[in-house]
Structure 1
């Protein structure tokens, strides 16, 4: 325990970076996920195919591979960005595939009559999706999206492998100085577990509050 207290400033700074990665990546993934969902349920076959290709591509590639390609490949073609910004972008693009699929399952759970009624009153596809379908779909996938948020939080630890000093990287640096891996990494693991527990609690409350009574 003393080793954690001795290096609390470094670990706290790493935890703050983890919070930043998590919040920004989830926000980006949510926006992209909605777009992916729109493609997946579009009446245009080409757009549906593009959405399916996006999901299949990113769900079948390891996140670490994407991070390595972005960090070491993009500078080779003249694209340079801050390490943290690059990590956020890559994680967001990766997790958007999972959020898109979760939202699509929610859209599929909405009665077809809802979409037909929206079209009957003159709403376009985009308008019906925005004002009628998605609001109902979101209420049915609160818990799955919460699970994706937890997975995303854990996946931010991979950014440490490419130079981002998050909680995992900070814990590793402290361990290199102190050579006490058990208390250091147990402490870091407890911090991740606490984030996951808080996310699970919040999404559980939201799911009960927003549940659609049938």
Structure 2
């Protein structure tokens, strides 16, 4: 094992560039999946005619598909019908689609955990259904969603490694290139890659626990 050679300035910098792309893709996907997940969850919770069963069917289909298949479908299959995206866009779209379904279930579970009396109280005070949902139900539900939501976002960050199959120059992609320079680099490079992933995910888990205690 050649730790000195593996951890040269050029190699570490190359890994860091990949890690920044990993974080960028993860961040954009997290924001988009949260917004879309909220919409899907609210549509199902409010039981909006036509839209609710459509959203439920879509979520169930996506949840039961492997993420790798979705990534390959977006990048390789959609161009067959004239819909083509860049590698970065394909990765973000695939991750967003998959994670939106997961997030929507977390949000829907949070919403259904709130006592129905809260809605009745809000409506009796003159608020509309949407206002009651937005000002009373959703804030309480979000507090209960923090641990599973952060856990899902940690999974999303790790799932970005699957985009290596479409050659997105993220952390795992760059790690594979660096370790290919010499067999003695394999162990050191994978250890450093693991440290990158662990550091961010561990910080997220600590933040999640603090939020949980704060809102308990």
- Is the aligned partner of 1:195 residue 2:182? no
List aligned pairs for 1:150-189, cutoff 5 A: 150-179=154-183, 180-189=185-194
Structure-2 separation of matches of 1:111 and 1:154: 35
Structure-2 separation of matches of 1:72 and 1:118: 49
Aligned mate of 1:44, from 48, 51, 54:
48
- Is the aligned partner of 1:4 residue 2:7? yes
User: What secondary structure, in the 3-state scheme, does the structure 1 residue paired with 2:190 have?
Assistant: helix
Q: Deviations over 1:13-59 (max 9, x none)?
A: 00100110110010011001101111221233433212221221111
Structure-2 separation of matches of 1:37 and 1:4: 46
Range moving further from structure 2, 26-35 or 179-188: 179-188
Partner of 1:204: 209
Aligned mate of 1:61, from 42, 65, 76:
65
Structure-1 separation of matches of 2:130 and 2:159: 32
- Is the aligned partner of 1:26 residue 2:30? yes
Q: How far 1:122 sits from its partner (Å)?
A: 3.7
Check conservation: 1:83, 1:163, Cα contact below 8 A.
Answer: yes
Structure-1 separation of matches of 2:39 and 2:57: 13
Check conservation: 1:107, 1:133, Cα contact below 8 A.
Answer: yes
Q: Deviations over 1:94-131 (max 9, x none)?
A: 10111111111111111111111222234333322222
- Is the aligned partner of 1:144 residue 2:145? no
User: What secondary structure, in the 3-state scheme, does the structure 2 residue paired with 1:141 have?
Assistant: helix
Check conservation: 2:150, 2:204, Cα contact below 8 A.
Answer: yes
Partner of 2:135: 131
Number of paired residues? Answer: 211
Gaps of 5+ in 2: none
Supply the RMSD in Å over aligned alpha carbons.
Answer: 1.3
Check conservation: 1:39, 1:50, Cα contact below 8 A.
Answer: no
Using structure 1 for the length normalisation, give the TM-score.
Answer: 0.93
Q: How far 1:146 sits from its partner (Å)?
A: 0.7
Using structure 2 for the length normalisation, give the TM-score.
Answer: 0.93
Check conservation: 2:15, 2:171, Cα contact below 8 A.
Answer: yes
Range moving further from structure 2, 32-41 or 177-186: 177-186
List aligned pairs for 1:84-103, cutoff 5 A: 84-103=88-107
